[in-house]
Amino acid sequence: TGLSNLMTGLKLTDMETCYKMFKREVLQSLELEQDRFGFEPEITAKVARLDDEVINKAYAEGVRQFAQFLKTKKGWPEVALMHYDEPTERLMPEATFRYKQIKEVAPNIRVYGVTMNRLNWAKMLAPISDILVCNGDYARISDLGKVTGDAVWGYSGATAVTGFGGARFKMGLQLWRYDLGSHWFWCYDFFPGNPWDEFDSHTGDANWVTAYPGVEKGSHVPTLAWEGFREAWDDMRYAATVEKLLGQHKGALRDKIAADYAAFRKNLPKGRDLTALSGGQDDFYATLPGYNKLSQLRAKLVGWIDQLRQLK
């Protein structure tokens, strides 16, 4: 409070008002335009401190209670925990400490380490993770997982700028391309400036959303990336069906389809090839990039399903 009064020349006693005034003065002095970025800055002294026993005991107790809660939920999919998001640049000691805490309290819960798109970071996280989660360098990190025994998942931004083809591939057949066990996406929920014009900001993140607010309260307008998600789900179902049918049959035709399917997986395109805009900035709204290519891949899967279903 004293620091804020000193900087602002005011005599404030209310902490919340004081904080807002202090924040405003700091932003003005640094010439930051927080509204353009869509976040609220926070003033903190230290992040993820390990010498606070109150926090450490509460963290362990929270994990213990969470593990007990999961035991009461029959039929749930697996729930994994993350120690820290992308910790390799700054929080490796902290991530190591939390990993040991989680394993001591709940050894059966897997911990996933977010490696981004760097093989070296994946190597750093492998000893303190059960799952490596990457958003690039998929092939090499997938191979690393086979060596270390870690599962490998993927994650990516799947937003308006990703486009239809990119979202469809990343959330669908990319799992088959790189032997990923799962995949999840992130997106922002803000849009600097006009939410109806996702190219009105030079910050580069104005179109990092999957949907925009609708005119009616509580409604939303999906982007083509969202439609890509819907198609991705069906692409995965077709691929899984091929594998299921291959496991149910024997014979020369089945073996040929199996070989063709293995080559199909190996030669799947990279997601980046499907996201380029062929015209203006808003071109993907009209042309659905990657639609024909991905539909051709699905057609191959459907053809194999038809052939396998005819086998006795």
The angle, 0 to 180 degrees and rounded to 10, between the axes of the packed helices 163-170 and 224-246 is 40
Quick: pLDDT tens for 27-38.
Answer: 444 444 444 444
d(CA 86, CA 118): 11
Quick: pLDDT tens for 109-145.
Answer: 999 999 988 899 999 999 999 999 998 889 999 999 9
Whose tokens are 């090499």? That residue is: 140
Quick: pLDDT tens for 273-301.
Answer: 555 444 444 444 444 446 688 889 999 99
**Lowest mean pLDDT, pick from 21-35, 215-229, 265-279:** 21-35
| Contact status, residue 119 vs residue 137, Cβ threshold 8 Å | yes
Q: What is the per-residue pLDDT for 186? A: 83
Q: What is the per-residue pLDDT for 55? A: 86
Quick: pLDDT tens for 1-21.
Answer: 343 334 444 444 444 444 444
Length of the chain: 312
Q: What is the per-residue pLDDT for 308? A: 97
Short-list 90, 38, 81, CA closest to 59: 81
Per-domain residue ranges of the chain: 52-309
Whose tokens are 């690393």? That residue is: 144
Phi, psi of 157 (to 5 degrees): -75, 125
Phi, psi of 148 (to 5 degrees): -85, -15
What number is the average pLDDT over the span 161-175?
85
Write down the architecture of domain 52-309 according to CATH.
Answer: Alpha-Beta Barrel (3.20)
* Reported pTM: 0.74
Q: Which long-range contacts (CB under 8 A, 24 or more apart) does 209-212 make?
A: 209/159, 209/160, 210/158, 210/159, 210/160, 210/185, 212/160
| Contact status, residue 213 vs residue 196, Cβ threshold 8 Å | no
Which range in 22-31, 45-54, 69-78, 270-279 is most confidently predicted, on average pLDDT? 69-78
